Amino acid sequence: MSFWEYVAGRRAQLLADGWQHASAVFQCMVVATAVGVVIGVLTYRSEWAGNLAVTTTATLLTIPSLALLGLLIPLTGLGVAPTVTALVLYGLLPIVRNAVVGLRGVDPSLVDAAKGIGMSRAAQLVRVELPLAWPPILTGIRVATQMLMGIAAVAAYASGPGLGNEIFRGVSSLGSANALNQVLAGTLGIIVLALLFDAAYMLIGRLTIPRGIRG
């Protein structure tokens, strides 16, 4: 059976796996973005706190994905819970680092001007600092999403959802007629999803970043 014949025959299952994969990554990125930006906001003004936040999230990223899932399974069981926990933890570093760098890079004179016209500290953050730091934050989100696309495939080890199940089925049946087709279908599906997500982020950047500060 050729690859395209395999894809045509398994189209419904591949689409379902692809939807689950995209959904898991998207939802985990929403959580990772919210947590990462909050950590960045809380730590960027302090040199040691910002460095600690970046170092801690970088340390989490050094843990092999299979090892982290193995540690999480006894605590959370199989399925969605260990997948979500692992993906959120792995997605934090690029977002935290870029949030800290972006917020520290805001021109102090603009913050002083906002303070001079009577803006509260919260208003300065929301209306001046975060909008100016948004380009690097969005870049961090893009990088984290590309990482999680691949890492999410490993979550099939913990019975997680997504295209990783197709890859694991192929690897576990190497030598069979469709083993290579399964691995290739899962891999190409993840690549296509990663490209689609990145295109969406590029569009978001064009819509939300003024031309004058667009990198």
Which domains are seen in the chain, by residue range? 3-213 (1.10.3720.10)
Q: Retrieve residue 130's tokens.
A: 């975060």
Q: What is the pLDDT of residue 41?
A: 96
- Report the alpha-carbon distance of residue 83 to residue 176 in Å, rounded: 29
pTM metric for this prediction: 0.90
- Report the alpha-carbon distance of residue 175 to residue 141 in Å, rounded: 39
Torsion angle (degrees, nearest 10) of CA 203, 101, 41, 38 = 50
Q: What is the pLDDT of residue 178?
A: 84
- Spacing of C-alpha 35 from chain mean position: 12
Q: Retrieve residue 151's tokens.
A: 């890492």
Nearest by Cα to 145 from 208, 200, 183, 206: 200
Nearest by Cα to 50 from 111, 107, 97: 97
Mean pLDDT by groups of 10 residues along the chain of 215 residues: 87 94 96 97 94 95 89 86 92 96 92 87 90 94 95 85 89 83 94 96 90 63
What lies within 8 Å, CB to CB, of 130 at 6+ separation is 37, 41, 103, 137
Q: What is the pLDDT of residue 215?
A: 53
